[in-house]
Each structure stands twice: as C-alpha cells, then as structure tokens.
Amino acid sequence: MDDKSKPKIRIIDLNCDLGEGYDDEGIMPYISSCNVACGGHYGDFNTIMAALDLAKRNNVRVGAHPSFPDKSHFGRKVLDFKTEYLLDSIEGQLCLFQEALDRLSLPFHHIKWHGALYNLAAKDAQVANRLAEYIKKKFPSLLMYVPFGSEMAKACKAYDLPVYYEVFADRAYADDLNLVPRSEPCSVLKEPGAIKEQITNILEKKQVRTISGQKVAIKADTICVHGDHPRALSITQQLFYFLQEKQYHIK
C-alpha cells in the first residue's frame, strides 16, 4: 500500500470541565484531557487533588479552569472587578492548581477560562489582551484552549501563545461564533442526534450551523462536553464511540 492509499490518521482531543462536583469518575475514561476547577467558581485544594488523581489513573491530560472568583454564581456572571484584582485571583487559582500538580508529579498541559470569563475574553479585545499578556509572562509554553475566531484567539496569536481551537458538543452557537447565552431557549443541546450532527458538521465540513440557521466556518482541535450537563456522562460516552466510528483517534 503506497502512502496515498493509506487511511489518513485523524486526531481529536475530547475534553470535559471537571472537578465541579459531578460525575468525574464516570466521565474520565472517555476523554483525553480535562479542565479542572481551581477554586474560583468551585472547589478547593482537596477537590483539585481528587480530580487530578483520577486523571492520573486514567492517563488524561490536565489543565486549569480558572474563573471569576464567584462560587455563588458558579462563575457564570460577569463581575465588575478591576483587572488587577481579577489577575490576582487568577494567579491564586493557578498557584493552587500548580501545587496540586506538584504533589502528584503531573505536567501542566493547558489553561481554559471558565464560564463568564471565557465568554467575556472571547468578545472583549481589551480583556483578552490583558489575559494573554499575563499568561505570556507566567506560563508562556502552556496551551490555551480558546474558541476559533475569538478575541482570545487573536490575543494568543499576538503574544505567540500556542492554542487549541475548542468547540462545544452541547452548546448552540450564535452567528458570530459566540455561544448562545444559557438564559435563552435552545442554548443547550440535549438530544444525541443534534450533538452528533453538530460535531459531524464541525469536523467533516469545518462549519457549524448557528441558531439562526447560518453555516459559519469553524476549526476544532478539541471538543468540550460540560461536566455539569444533565446528560454529561451519556453524551461523553456516545461521542467517544461516535468519533471512533468516524475513525478519529481521541488523543
């Protein structure tokens, strides 16, 4: 068999937001990376350690999932903080995460903002640039999980930070590729057929059908399932086997 006739190896990362009090143990065998809450929107040193230990036992790469320091709203509300205060909080969260990594001798793979911070950095160039500047100073070699075409992606490029373009299996997209706010109907995808269709369009056609019906170009290096989704475990399991059927190597 010559090189042209060999099947092309296709690799995709499947990630999940964990360490948030949900079914980490059930989900972990079906993913290749995880984003661990590090005390901002949920958790403490003990919950971080528990998630990291589980990841280590399942050979899953680990990243930090820092957020606005706001456990009362699960980090899903934009708070009017001065940038310096927010960066101080993020640094505290990342230091706590790093301490847990060191205890378990695990490598720090990536950073992914959580919730309102993720969405704000995707849309607000000033916030995105301040965050990218901070990461460049503190963690210049780490991957950043960012949405394709976002202000955060542009800021990472400007600061020469490596990125994975992240897409969501369980969330609907607006025409500008931002996620449809959770307060709106149909913002969360729940049916397996709709989720598989969205992922197929993204991976095979490099486009996503938005909430208005438009087809918008998108790129994906990693697929996320939210750990707090009511069907998180079943969605992750189904995606795992669906991607294998599509001849993707989850890595």
Q: Model confidence over 145-177: pLDDT tens digits?
A: 999 999 999 999 999 999 999 999 999 999 999
Which pLDDT value is given to residue 229? Answer: 86
Q: Model confidence over 187-236: pLDDT tens digits?
A: 999 899 999 999 999 999 999 999 999 999 999 999 999 998 889 999 99
Structure token pair of residue 86: 């927010």
Domains along the sequence of the chain with CATH = 10-250 (3.20.20.370)
Which pLDDT value is given to residue 3? Answer: 52
Distance of CA 28 to the CA centre of its chain: 15
Maximal C-alpha separation, the chain: 61
CA distance 174 to 177: 5
Query: What integer is the mean pLDDT of 104-127?
Result: 97
H or E stretch covering 53: helix 45-57
Which pLDDT value is given to residue 6? Answer: 55
Of 164, 192, 182, 190, the C-alpha closest to 119 is 182
CA distance 234 to 169: 12
Residue 212 CA: distances (Å) to CA of 119, 149, 186, 191: 19, 19, 11, 18
